[in-house]
Amino acid sequence: EANLPSDEKKELLMLFETLRHPNIVSYRHFIQTAETLYIVMNRCLGPDLVDHMQASGDLSMSSVRDFARQILLAVSAVHKHGMMHRDLKPENFRFRDPSATFLQLLDFGSAKPSNDL
């Protein structure tokens, strides 16, 4: 859900429609009510990063490096695309499937376009 002025909603939608990256959940479509824009994205079937870390216990250094790399790639792609996510936290990174190897950034409810990045 994004409560934004009309021009920001349009800009955000245009950005979402073209944002494609393997570490970012894919945009499907949007639903707009009188005052709210809902962004519908693909579903990730794996656990979020917090649940995975709690279930796995100690992570190997290799896993930590791989997860950090995927997180940085996702954030970099969002910024290069002229957007700010504005709610980065481990709960907003979810594994695409139960194999828990491929992280995707989701929950763009606080996202805003940015011309400053």
Q: Is 51 a catalytic residue?
A: no
- Domains in the chain, ordered, with CATH? 6-113 (1.10.510.10)
How far apart are the C-alpha atoms of 101 and 86, rounded to whole Å?
A: 24
**pLDDT the model gives residue 100:** 82
pLDDT at 45 over 60: yes
Percent of the chain with pLDDT over 90: 59
- The catalytic residue among 87, 97, 107, 116 is 87
pLDDT at 31 over 70: yes
pLDDT at 35 over 50: yes
pTM of the model: 0.85
How far apart are the C-alpha atoms of 109 and 84, rounded to whole Å?
A: 11
pLDDT band, very low/low/confident/very high, at 36 (cuts 50, 70, 90): confident
**pLDDT the model gives residue 1:** 46
**pLDDT the model gives residue 4:** 55
How far apart are the C-alpha atoms of 43 and 116, rounded to whole Å?
A: 30
pLDDT at 115 over 60: yes
Q: Which residues of 81-90 are buried (b: 16+ CB within 10 A; e: fewer)?
A: bbbbbeebee
The better pLDDT of the pair 96, 116 is held by 96
**pLDDT the model gives residue 3:** 56
The residue-averaged pLDDT of 82-97 equals 96
- Nearest Cα neighbor of 1 from 26, 47, 33 is 33
Cβ–Cβ < 8 Å for 114, 84: yes
